[in-house]
Structures are given as C-alpha cells and as structure tokens.
Amino acid sequence: MQKLILKNKFSKSDYEIHSKFECGISLLGWEVKSLRAQNAKIENSFCYISKKMELWLNNLYIAQYMNVKGDSERSRKLLVHKSEILKIKNSLERLNLILIPTSMYWDNNKIKVEIALAKKLKKFDKRQKEKELEAKKKLKQFI
C-alpha cells in the first residue's frame, strides 16, 4: 500500500509527461523523520545523470528535524538499475526531454520517488491545453 508524502503540483500543468519511473532514494535518518512529518518541498527539484552513470535528485528541500545539523538541500542519490538509467539517458538525448520528480511516497516502509521524462510547455501550449480541457468539460455536460 502506498501513502503519499509529497506531490509536485506543477508537474501536470507545466510539463507534458512522456513516461514515469519508480526509484528509491538514499536519505539520512533525520531526513526520513522529517519526511514522516511531511516537512518537505519538491516543486523546484530536478534530476540529472552524472558522469558515473548515477541518477541524482537536486533542490529537494527537507526541513531540519529538531536541532539536527545538516544540509537541507543537498543532492540525493536515486537508486535505479543501470539498465533503466541507460533507457532514461537515451530518451533524454534522443527526444530532448528533462527529468523531474513528480511525487514521493511510502511503499512497504521504504520511501520511493516517482520521476518522469517530461517536456516543458510554453505559455501558448498551456493555454491550448486549458481550452481543450474546457471543451471536454462542456461536452460532458451536454451528454
């Protein structure tokens, strides 16, 4: 059973999502306790692949738990198989996409991060998307 911790509320409105992946994350003890209390922000975070073929999550803000000294916005390693990293890297280069985290959740007492390959929408694309959604709503009202 999955219990949602965080959700990136801008992922659906600002990006066109192509595919999603589930991965683990390496955290310190105080970060887990702070996430259990849901003291974190995922809005401005992004992912990248390092030269060593490792997946990293940047700009994830996790608030300090009590008086523990630690960096609240450090880079955190995402735990993914090499074959999935290669798939992600190929699609990033081939389709000119970016990698964003969409949500964090508990899954069998482990914290998982859902990342997505996405394309940033321009302003006119957002407007067109909103018009299409409104048209669909009007059609549903008449039917």
pLDDT in tens, 120-140: 888 777 788 888 889 999 888
Question: Do 87 and 138 touch, CB atoms closer than 8 A?
Answer: no
pLDDT of residue 96: 87
pLDDT of residue 54: 95
Q: Which of 57, 63, 95 is nearest to 76 (CA)?
A: 57
DSSP one-letter code for 87: H
Q: Model pTM?
A: 0.80
pLDDT of residue 71: 83
Question: Do 84 and 99 touch, CB atoms closer than 8 A?
Answer: no
**Alpha carbon distance 113, 116 (integer Å):** 10
pLDDT of residue 90: 92
**Domains detected in the chain:** 3-142 (2.40.280.10)
Q: What is the mean pLDDT of residues 83-97?
A: 92
Percentage of residues of the chain with pLDDT beyond 70: 100
